[in-house]
């Protein structure tokens, strides 16, 4: 069984800290800031065994070289030479072992061209649900901005992610949930699950707690970026005059464009 907890960084990033109960080895995912990782390791008396990187943005890789100076982690990351300090470059279909758990690498371009995600199937012995580290691709109730990829790329990436088991826990890299839900509600004002999610997320944030991880089933019920064929989403885009076509990619592009100006 893996323990996964957030290390908050910068304004709204989460660096995920992965451990096993009773063991001292730890992995971190997307350590943009070394100082907060060092503090978390020291507080828990952990040794940094490895690092997973999802994409090249500074708020995800900024701490890697510094962490390598004081620890001896194995660093996994995408085939992007711009990312320094990577020991093992990985691509679709590769497996990465994280504290004894096997994670599959998926290529999920869209936010950036080099973006990858790490997925672990459930550990039957411990009845764990599957785990997905998806960086800035799929967010709770949202998705990453298209800095490098096309809408078609991001749409395909999101579809590949939501095709994973519905009970998969989604560990994204930012706390953007309330803003994403405000937009989602504008797209689907009649969605009761969405209204309930917004109510719960507000209460969670008022307590100062993270709203992530989410689950893929919750995303499928409430995230407009993976609901492009829902009649309510199509109607909403049509009434806003934003619908250029009804194929899934065109609908996704329209939703993404609306959010960019929301």
Chain-centre distance of CA 31, in angstroms? 14
Chain-centre distance of CA 192, in angstroms? 24
Q: Is 111 annotated as a binding residue?
A: yes
14: Cβ contacts below 8 Å, ≥ 6 apart: 6, 7, 8, 171, 172, 173, 174, 175, 210, 212
Q: Which residue is nearest to Zn ion (CB)?
A: 57
What's 147-169 look like in SS3?
CCCCHHHHHHHHHHHHCCCCCCE
**Touching Zn ion, residues 122-141 (CB under 5 A):** 136
Considering only the stretches 9-17, 57-65, 72-80, 232-240, report the one whose residues sit in contact with Zn ion under the rule CB under 5 A. Answer: 57-65
For residues 34 and 12, give the distance between their C-alpha atoms in angstroms, rounded to a whole number: 16
**12 in active site:** no
Q: Which of 57, 174, 197, 259 binds Zn ion (CB under 5 A)?
A: 57
**30 in active site:** no
**87 in active site:** no
Binding mask 6-45 for Zn ion (x = CB under 5 A): ----------------------------------------
40 touches 7 (CB < 8 A):
yes
Catalytic site residue from 30, 33, 56, 60: 60
241: Cβ contacts below 8 Å, ≥ 6 apart: none
Catalytic site residue from 30, 33, 56, 59: 59
CA-based end-to-end distance of the chain = 40
- Cβ-based nearer residue to Zn ion, 107 or 136: 136
Q: Is 155 annotated as a binding residue?
A: no
Q: Is 71 annotated as a binding residue?
A: no
Told to check if 197 binds Zn ion by CB under 5 A, we report no
**155 in active site:** no
Phi-psi region of 180 (alpha: psi -120 to 50; beta: other; left: phi over 0): alpha
- Cβ-based nearer residue to Zn ion, 48 or 108: 108
**71 in active site:** no
Q: Which residues are annotated as a binding site for Zn(2+)?
A: 55, 57, 59-60, 111, 136, 174
Which positions touch Zn ion (CB under 5 A)? 57, 136
Q: Which residues are annotated as a binding site?
A: 55, 57, 59-60, 111, 136, 174
Active-site positions?
Answer: 55, 57, 59-60, 111, 136, 174
């Amino acid at each position: 069984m893996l323990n996964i907890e957030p290390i908050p960084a910068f304004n709204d990033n989460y660096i995920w800290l992965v451990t096993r109960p009773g063991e001292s080895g730890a992995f971190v995912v997307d350590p943009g800031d070394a100082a907060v990782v060092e503090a978390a390791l020291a507080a828990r008396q952990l040794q940094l065994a490895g690092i997973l990187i999802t994409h090249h943005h500074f708020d995800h890789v900024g701490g890697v070289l510094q962490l390598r100076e004081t620890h001896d982690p194995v660093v996994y990351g995408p085939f992007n030479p711009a990312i320094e300090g990577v020991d093992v470059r990985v691509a679709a279909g590769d497996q990465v072992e994280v504290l004894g758990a096997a994670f599959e690498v998926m290529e999920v371009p869209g936010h950036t061209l080099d973006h990858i995600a790490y997925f672990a199937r459930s550990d039957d012995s411990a009845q764990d649900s599957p785990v997905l580290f998806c960086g800035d691709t799929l967010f709770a109730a949202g998705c990453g901005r298209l800095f490098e990829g096309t809408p078609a790329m991001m749409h395909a990436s999101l579809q590949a992610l939501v095709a994973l088991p519905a009970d998969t826990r989604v560990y994204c890299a930012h706390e953007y949930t309330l803003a994403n839900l405000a937009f989602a509600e504008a797209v689907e004002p009649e969605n009761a699950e969405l209204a309930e999610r917004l109510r719960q997320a507000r209460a969670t944030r008022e307590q100062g707690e993270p709203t992530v991880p989410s689950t893929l089933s919750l995303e499928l019920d409430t995230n407009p970026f993976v609901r492009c064929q829902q009649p309510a989403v199509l109607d909403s885009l049509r009434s806003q005059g934003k619908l250029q076509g009804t194929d899934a990619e065109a609908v996704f592009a329209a939703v993404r464009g609306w959010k960019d100006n929301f």
